A and B are shown apart, each in its own frame.
Chain A
Amino acid sequence: MRIHGRGGQGVVTAAELLAVAAFDQGRHAQAFPSFGSERTGAPVVSYCRIDDREIRTREPIDEPDAVIVQDVTLVGHVDLFAGLSPTGYVLVNTSRPLAELVSSAEFATLPEGHVAGCPATELALAHVGRAVPNVPLLGAFCALTGEVPLEALARALRRRFRAEVAERNVAAASAAYELVSRHEEAHRAPTA
């Protein structure tokens, strides 16, 4: 999977947390940034591979199974969905309907229920007090893909942050998880 954002939004940390959570589940994981001398606000990419076998390759992820967009202002400036698998997932940090931001043609071929928006910045502000959307997006990612359980993410957060900060982050991730889960259930429910 590939995470797009801007310097200061915890893009690299997000990939690392996801790798730790996957490792917690006994899986092989590898996280790495798109190494550069990025400054706050500059476009940043990070990567995370999760596999049941040993991961040997070191190449960047050109054909991701999932893309997380932490900052919608990147739309139109960065080729966010390049190489995305036809059965891949897309998760965007937004409080507005996705269709307003991205042409639906971008995801037309993706399976239903593989695309979600999440007001991650708002959730982060509400729970953590900082406008860093990475952790809520990871909670949303757990809900969207089922690749990593929320509990594993919570353990990774508790390992990474001090007690109180960890709990606030867990709350933010859980809130995002709930939001996206409800959204997904609505999708899966047979339409009347």
Chain B
Amino acid sequence: MLQQLEGSRAIAETVARCRPEVVCAYPISPQTHIIEAIGAMVKDGRLTGCEFINVESEYAAMSVSIGASAAGARSYTATASQGLLFMIEAVYNAAGLGLPVVMTLANRAIGAPINIWNDHSDAMAVRDAGWIQLFAETNQEAADLHVQAFRLAETLSVPVMVCMDGFILTHAVEAVDLIDPAVVDSFLPPYEPRQVLDPDDPVSIGAMVGPEAFEEVRYLAHLRQLDALELIPSVAEEFAALTGRPSGGLLHPYRLEDAETVIVAMGSVLGTIKDAVDARREAGERVGVLGVTAFRPFPVAAVASALAGARRVIVLEKAFSLGMGGVLATDVATASPASGHDLATVVAGLGGRPITRRDVEGILERSGRGTLPRLSFLNLDEDVVARERARMAASRRSGPFAENVLRDVASGGAFR
């Protein structure tokens, strides 16, 4: 039934319909509303057969999920930003052990400087951990992806992270068609583990593996990711047949037919970009958008095929690798027909800075004029940067640079 509700509430309701057996909770903005709502559902008896555990850290949240999953329970948790980094050892471990934990990542910037707002730095920090990472464009898709996530995870024995933009999606109230519990039950069979801690059939899980077999074990994990490239679209198709909704899959192409310039992006910013593309199309420009839903595994072949007709490719991403540049852009480059100055990275939306339709149109304009650099930072105030560089050059004890920049911005450039 279509309802107007907060994104976090939509996720909680959907996760509950997936019948999780162990849910761990540790508060960190902006995911907290999700686990609060699930906790309330367990307390009031709406969600039965589920152990809801308030743990003492994100590290424990993922560790409890590991234990529960290894014991054959459907396990779920949610985190963001610093929380993901605090649990990162266990994040790798869950994937290494092949445990199908599902986790919501309410994407948020990573400090220092501390910042609670949205960008994709957290997801990028664990891109090599061995998790499937799916990015949601809307709250509808975020909710639907959770149902698909459990199915993918349990079929492949690989953990899945559903990435949704913190605040922009988690705190937005918009219409979401909550999935019918009967549809979930038909789509998502009870979890049948490949490996399980069973006293009546004891196995050792988590043994040390030496050089004689480590590479093969890691390669098998890689193959499961490649299997996911096949399974993600078929699961999305099956889901669409049941619900009529095009959620999930590898990519979301939009107006790519005959597009000379294509913007590649992930997450909620795709909506804003689509509005910009529609506006430019009306002005007669041949532009399109390629939304990347599956970031890990990265669909190289599908991206190459989607971009085959493009002359210029612009990767707009909410994260970057310091000292290098775009992260998504590096992956896109392996699949893009465009290269050199025809492949541009625009880093945007860091720490919650808004990305507007006008911004996107401006990027397209510059690209059309050939003035879009290979790497640029959207709406970067270069004067602020230059002034801090000058302060650093002028004095060894120039002080903490984040605080200097804040003073500078607050004083309109008067801070010396």
Contact = CB atoms under 8 A, between A and B. Distances in A.
* Direct contact between the two chains A and B in their complex (CB within 8 A): yes
Interface of A: 15-16, 19-20, 23-24, 28-33, 35-37, 55-60, 62
A60 B356 CA distance: 8
A57 B272 contact: yes
Nearest to A19: B173
A32 B29 CA distance: 15
Contacts of A35: 30, 116-118, 166-168, 171, 352
Nearest to B267: A58
5 tightest A-B contacts by CB?
A56-B271, A35-B167, A23-B4, A31-B173, A59-B356
A167 B29 CA distance: 33
B354 A57 contact: no
Interface in B234-285: 268-272, 274-275
Contacts of A15: 173
B174 A31 contact: yes
Given A19-B4, A20-B4, A35-B30, A60 B171 contact: no
B271 A57 contact: yes
Contacts, number: 68
A105 to B, nearest CB: 24
A161 to B, nearest CB: 15
Contacts of A36: 116-117
A29 B175 contact: yes
Interface in B24-43: 29-30
Contact of A55 (B29, B174, B352): B174
B175 A59 contact: no
Contact of B268 (A23, A58, A60): A58
B117 A59 contact: no
Contacts of A28: 175
Given A20-B173, A35-B117, A37-B29, 18 more contacts: A16-B6, A19-B173, A19-B174, A23-B175, A28-B175, A29-B174, A29-B175, A31-B173, A32-B167, A32-B172, A32-B173, A36-B117, A55-B174, A57-B272, A58-B355, A59-B354, A59-B356, A59-B357
Interface in B1-41: 4, 6, 29-30
B172 A57 contact: no
Given A35-B352, A36-B116, A37-B29, A57 B171 contact: no
A60 B354 contact: yes
A56 B278 CA distance: 11
A147 B356 CA distance: 25
A58 B271 contact: yes
A35 to B, nearest CB: 4
A56 B173 contact: no
Nearest to B4: A23
Contacts of B174: 19, 29-31, 55
Interface string B336-374: 000000000000000010111100000000000000000
Interface string B141-175: 00000000000000000000000011110011111
A19 B172 CA distance: 10
A172 to B, nearest CB: 21
Given A35-B167, A59-B354, A30 B172 contact: yes
